[in-house]
């Protein structure tokens, strides 16, 4: 499993997307799937930076990524506040412009883009988000 | 991310190039806010050279669409949306909130 630590700063999202994108590409995921994996990872890390490390400076995000047996697993660790994405409610996706909400969209996309998403938090190890996606063979 | 603006008689075309994420979305929001503050409510976003957009960018589009559509004074339309970005916009239910056109010329013609 490849593991890289990044400063919790939006400026590093580019490098984080490159990192998971490269692993997915090398494992033979389609360009559509690679984009989905990059987008889900970006949304997850953006949430960590925005919410888990809200008001905390110098935080780090550790991203682990491994592709094996037609599946990619991405694990995102942080030591910020607990931000459990399973508690984020689904945004209102109504057609009415005035009713549309701006929050919760990133989490909604993560669940749509990935096959499995789980969250674990402990005092010792901090917060861990695990996302999995299987190769579907589409283009 | 880079943007450039061309003013036409009936609308502005704003070309958005590169990657829009949480780091660069505020920059896009600033460009859109400036157009609106100048009284330009009919905006066509040319996304031909857009490589990537996360929900941070979607939020900037939504906020601008709300402002532009107020009092029926205009709207934001999208032109030449790359496949991957269109798929993400569809997942987020955004394609129902924005008219899309194959190219910037058609988008300009819609105003």
Q: What is the pLDDT of residues B13-67, one digit of tens each?
A: 999 999 999 999 999 999 999 999 999 999 999 999 999 999 999 999 999 999 9
Tokens linked to B104: 């910037």
Compare CB distances from B91 to A10, A100, A109 and report the shortest one's residue: A109
Query: If you search the block for the tokens 């450039």, which residue do you land on?
Result: B4
- Contact A34/B at CB under 8 A: no
Residues 6+ apart with CB under 8 A from A127: A48, A52, A77, A78, A79, A80, A82, A83, A84, A119, A120, A121
Interface with B, mutate which of A40, A43, A91, A97 (most B CBs under 10 A):
A97
- Whole-complex ipTM: 0.95
Supply the pTM of this predicted model. Answer: 0.95
Tokens linked to A45: 């890390």
Q: Looking at residue A97, what is its pLDDT? A: 81
């Amino acid at each position: 499993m490849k593991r890289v630590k990044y400063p919790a700063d939006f400026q590093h999202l580019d490098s984080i997307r490159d990192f998971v994108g490269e692993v997915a590409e090398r494992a033979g995921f389609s360009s559509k799937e690679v984009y989905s994996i990059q987008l889900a990872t970006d949304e997850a890390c953006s949430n960590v930076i925005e919410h888990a490390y809200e008001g905390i400076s110098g935080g780090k995000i550790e991203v682990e990524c491994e592709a094996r047996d037609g599946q990619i697993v991405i694990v995102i660790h942080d030591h910020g506040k607990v931000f459990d994405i399973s508690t984020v409610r689904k945004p209102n996706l109504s057609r009415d412009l005035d009713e549309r909400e701006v929050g919760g969209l990133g989490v909604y996309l993560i669940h749509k883009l990935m096959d499995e998403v789980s969250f674990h938090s402990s005092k010792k190890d901090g917060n861990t988000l695990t996302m999995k996606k299987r190769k579907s063979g589409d283009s | 991310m880079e943007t450039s603006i061309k003013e036409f008689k009936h609308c502005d075309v704003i070309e958005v190039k590169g990657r829009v994420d949480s780091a660069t979305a505020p920059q896009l929001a600033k460009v859109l806010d400036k157009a609106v503050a100048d009284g330009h409510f009919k905006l066509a976003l040319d996304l031909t050279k857009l490589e990537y957009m996360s929900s941070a960018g979607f939020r900037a589009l939504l906020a601008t669409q709300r402002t532009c559509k107020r009092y029926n004074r205009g709207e934001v339309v999208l032109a030449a949306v790359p496949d991957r970005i269109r798929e993400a916009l569809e997942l987020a239910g955004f394609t129902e909130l924005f008219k899309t056109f194959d190219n910037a010329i058609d988008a300009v013609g819609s105003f």
